[in-house]
Amino acid sequence: MYGAWVLIREYVDDDWPAVWPIFREVVTAGETYAYDPAATSDEARALWVERPPGLTVVACDGSEVLGTAKMGPNRPGPGSHVSTASFMVASGGRGRGVGRALGEYVLSWARDNGYASMQFNAVVESNHVAVRLWKQLGFELIGTVPEAFEHPTLGRVGLHVMFQRLT
C-alpha cells in the first residue's frame, strides 16, 4: 500500500481492459510519450507489459485502476545494474498522489531487486509535474537532448535524462 488510499499491485492479464484506456488517453494526448497514437490494443500491450526480470503494476482505488507503471533493467548485459521505469496515470487519478505512489513503489522495487541506480531516459521537459515529482523523489537532471520530442502544441521540446543512485 502506498499513499493513504492507493493500492499498488502486480499487473495481471485481466487488468488490460482497464490499462488500455489509460495508455490510449496518455499516448493520444501526445504530450509525454513517443509511442504511436495509432497503436492497437495488442501493440500497446506488447509495449507496456514487462516480462521478468521487469514488472508491470497497477495503482487502484478499490477496483478502479487509476494508473500503471512498468519497470526493469534499463539495458541488457553490462547495463542491467541500472533500472528504469515508465508511468501512466488516468486523468481521473492526476493530482491525487497516484504518480507519487507509483514513483515510490518503483524505487522500492529497484532497491529490493539490487539495482544500483534508476535512470529515466526520456522525460519530456515540458512535463513540469513529472519533472518536479522526480526531483522531489531524489532524481537529478543529468542532461537534456534538445528538440528530441515533437509536442503537439509546443513544437519541438527537449527530453531530459534523469538519474538516481540507489546504493
Residue-level pLDDT, tens digit, the chain, 167 residues:
445 679 999 999 999 999 999 999 999 999 999 999 999 999 999 999 999 999 999 999 999 999 999 999 999 999 999 999 999 999 988 989 999 999 999 999 999 999 999 999 999 999 999 999 999 999 999 999 999 999 999 999 999 999 999 98
pTM above 0.75, yes or no: yes
CATH superfamily of this structure's domain 7-165: Gcn5-related N-acetyltransferase (GNAT) (3.40.630.30)
Burial class (CB in 10 A: 0-12, 13-18, 19+), 57: buried
In the chain, the amino acid numbered 112 is D
How many secondary structure helices (H) and strands (E) does the chain include? 4, 7
Q: How many residues does the chain have?
A: 167
In the chain, the amino acid numbered 121 is N
Distance, in Å, from the CA atom of 28 to the CA atom of 94, rounded to the nearest integer, reads 17
**Can you give the residue ranges of every domain in the chain?**
7-165
Quote the distance between the C-alpha of residue 132 and its chain's center. 14
In the three-class reduction of DSSP (H, G, I as helix; E, B as strand; rest coil), residue 90 is classed as coil
